[in-house]
Structure 1
Amino acid sequence: MTSTRRPWWPSRADAFWMFAGALVFTGLNVLYHLVGDRTTGALGPGAGLVLQVVCDLSLVLLFRFPVLVTGLVTAAAFAMLASDLFAPGLLVPVQPIAMTTVPTVTPVMLAQVLRVLDRRTVLWLTAVLALIATRPWEPNWSITPFGLLSTVLPVAISFYAEARKQLLQSLRDRAERAEREQHLLAEQARAEERRRLAGEMHDVVTHRLSLMVLHAGALGVTSGDPAVRTAAEDIRREGALALDELRDLVGVLRNGTDTGPRTLRPEEPGDPARLVEESRSVGVPTELVVDGDPAAVSPTVARTAYRLVQEALTNVRKHAPGASATVALRYHQGGLDVSVASTAAARPPDPALAGTGSGAGLAGLRQRVELVGGRFDAGPAPGGGFRVGAILPAYVPTAEGTHCDPGARGR
């Protein structure tokens, strides 16, 4: 088994502060050595300085070797205590400037050690160093308070900072969980609303369309006028198509529930020429201009163009009675340019017809065009008419496009 090695420092900022702390405390101990008393034991006048500097410089290794560094500082504290009790002046000056009786770097080490050691070890380490620093067997106002400040206080601050960090993280997690739950509740509410709308559409709209189809069929059978029979058949056929599309729409509203075999295969692209013929059949003079090969674009793009022409011609019938329209489709190597332009209305629109729909037809077209990577444009045309157009790419790399479009392969 391979053991996980600790990093030298968790971050560059930690490395900077560890080196800075080590240098600051080294300089501080050198200053104490120069201006204060020195050790007078057998190890020489620099023994105390060497011990302090070794502890100071070991601070840079705390994150990589925490046990080694804490053990070194603790051993140094015991050595200083033994020197003070049994050999005064050996490792600690008889009259030291610093009021602490443990290595001067101890507060910094204890403040950081919680990040690399478990809580129980930190508490035991703090207790041992606090015992050495405060010397409860000989209480002294010049030793005990400084001993607590250099041992217990840094650890208490570290524990507080860690607890606060965990609390903030817990609050963030709770807020994120509440936000996710709120999102799920909103999704459930939308799903319920979709199911309710699907039920309403199925119960109300389907019923009315079915009656219309039945009445048109009966009219076509009973009428003796060929023109009436033809019109009745057109109404019956369009009503049946509307029922078929409504069935698919209800399935989508019901979270994609399968409503029949037709929903299991991709929708085939419609023919814009049929839309032009339908527009002409209801009295709207409509011209179709096609340039290029329709096979040059993928089915996804062809369906987008079909829906654009369908919505634009529907708007002409609703809002511009008496106007004429021109549908232009230009197929080229880069894609397809679609344009539906109408002249100005000859008379005011029928309020009942113009008031139907959601009012979001053009916004829906823009979204549909942008989804395939195209550019959409709509606005008034010179002479008082209106123009709807789009520049569509030749191929959208979808799974459907690669399976359905022979011309898409190899692009």
Structure 2
Amino acid sequence: MQPLPDPFLSSAEEVLRAACLPPSKSLLPSAAPAGSSPPASSVADPGVPAQDRAVSCLPPGILSGPPTREDPRAYRGWRSDSFSRVTRVVRDIPVAVHLDVDLLFPASYCQLRAASLVHDCLVQLSNPNVAAMKEDVLYHFSLSTSTHDFPAMFGDVKFVCVGGSPSRMNTFIRYVAAELGLAHPGEEYPNICAGTDRYAMYKVGPVLSVSHGMGIPSIAIMLHELIKLLYHARCSNVTIIRIGTSGGIGLEPGSVVITQQAVDACFKPEFEQIVLGKRVVRSTNLDEQLVQELMQCSTNLNEFTTVVGNTMCTLDFYEGQGRLDGALCCYTEKDKQAYLHAAHAAGIRNIEMESSVFAAMCGACGLRAAVVCVTLLDRLQGDQINSPHEVLAEYQQRPQRLVGHFIKKSLGRA
């Protein structure tokens, strides 16, 4: 086995030491005697889940202790969360690493099995049933694993951008094609989901652009099938970003908000779902590093005001967001202002209707995700959007320009 290239070793050494691995654990290949083999104790036990192996290899004190195994659901949740945290530690390693950490051997055997360790972080599902299915029909995409070659169609996807309307996502894919130098005169970008009118999907190079409709139920259905699509296509190192519009709180119209945390209408950073009659709550945290990368891209562009803040996700556009102009209203202007000011005090800078389930589902499946929305009005000043159409059209391009610049920079084309 050949040693790993030095740039990888130095970066891996730095990142893993930051994760508090004992100093005696070195990644330098010179520490491994020629022709040596790892001890049997370090070889992966196929009967132990990779997440268990990854978490257990870390030294004590890095992660909070697990619940008892007598509570399987709590244990699985702790294991999944811990695995996600460990995965984030090594995200900066130049060569993508799938964190099956049982492949990191003790100091005397620290030469890594490169062929096993150094491979891409494949998209994973949080559902063991899918792997056993002979056919998976993505009904709302009009795609199926028995009729479409997912790896051939989507295997190169690295960036997925989702937004409410099909026309906006078509505009985005055209914009990205031009920005990446992949556009050709007169070229059309066909809707991959033309067999249905539920969602629209477009692709150019490593970028997939998908509409998700309006509200939590619509985007949740789309995300279930999108994440399965990426899984079946064996995509790796995928970044998924929601781009959209929102109502601002204390911001000038046209400001862009990069979501730090999605919260519900009670300002809690969680998404609640009723599953089999029981309340299931998932975290809505988003990738902190991705937030900072996007903010840096906005600074580089220097074209419009961009802030990092919490985003409130509601179940409704009218009463759920405290509007006074719906068909129903059981509160006063004073009540509304008190609520919105309390939201602002809680760090909330905009309101929309998809971010909480987006953050929860992407987080549960280990996907690097972000939400970037432009504000169309300041809700402290009114409820109705009354800016001219051409002004709104320009506002809606701002998240596209920011995310387009991020993709270019990530691909080394900025």
* Pairwise same-fold verdict (TM > 0.5): no
Per the normalisation by structure 1, the TM-score is: 0.20
Per the normalisation by structure 2, the TM-score is: 0.20
More helix by share: 1
